[in-house]
Each structure stands twice: as C-alpha cells, then as structure tokens.
Amino acid sequence: MKTDFFSQVYEVVKLIPHGRVTSYGAIARYLGNGLSARMVGWAMNAAHTLPDVPAHRVVNTKGLLTGKAHFATPDLMQQLLEKEGIIVKNEAVQDFEKVYWNPVTELAL
C-alpha cells in the first residue's frame, strides 16, 4: 500500500541528522527496494505538510536539490540546508561525500 511505504520513508527521513543529507535511492535501498527511488521522491513531495519530516535533507544521488520545486518558495530547500551549515551552490550540495548520510550503513543492525 502506497501510504505504508510513505510512512516507512518518513520514519527514515526523521532519522537523518541535522546538517546531513541522503538520497532518494539510499532510502529506497534501505527499505529493501533500490528501484523505488521515484516512489521515495513522491513521498517527499507529499511530506511538505508534515512539520516533523525534514524533506529538505533528501536530495538526488548527485547532491542536486531536485525536490526544491515542491517547497513553499523556490529557495526554501536551499535556505533550510544552509541554516544547518550545508553549503549549496548552483542547486547542488557542496562536499556531498562529507555530509552524505547513508541509512543502509548508519542504521545497520
């Protein structure tokens, strides 16, 4: 069921630490289906009304702010990331490898 998957995505996104980012694909892989990155994106698009889901911390696999159009203003995603100390230039997270949080390894049992 789509809403169950969305709920699982939201639970993972809530665990992304302040000042870190992850990708749609990494969340999909953690949830057991690496081919579901697009579904993770849909979940993020629907998450903007949920105040406890930091959707701004989810970017594409190259660190691009591909979800920025789904925020209240075109610059809000970047502003939220910069407020957490993440540097964004040309709609891309700088030092992506350093701020990247991989739920597959970080949440390993």
Predicted local distance difference test score (pLDDT) of residue 1: 44
71 DSSP 8-state letter: S
Using pLDDT thresholds of 50, 70 and 90, give the confidence band for residue 3: low
pLDDT tens figures, 37-91: 999 999 999 997 888 999 999 999 999 999 999 999 999 999 999 999 999 999 9
Complete domains list, the chain, with CATH: 2-106 (1.10.10.10)
Predicted local distance difference test score (pLDDT) of residue 2: 54
Predicted local distance difference test score (pLDDT) of residue 35: 79
Predicted local distance difference test score (pLDDT) of residue 48: 78
Predicted local distance difference test score (pLDDT) of residue 106: 94
Predicted local distance difference test score (pLDDT) of residue 73: 93
| Contact by Cβ (8 Å): 3, 14 | no
Predicted local distance difference test score (pLDDT) of residue 20: 98
Tokens 């911390």 sit on residue: 57
11: helix, coil or strand? helix
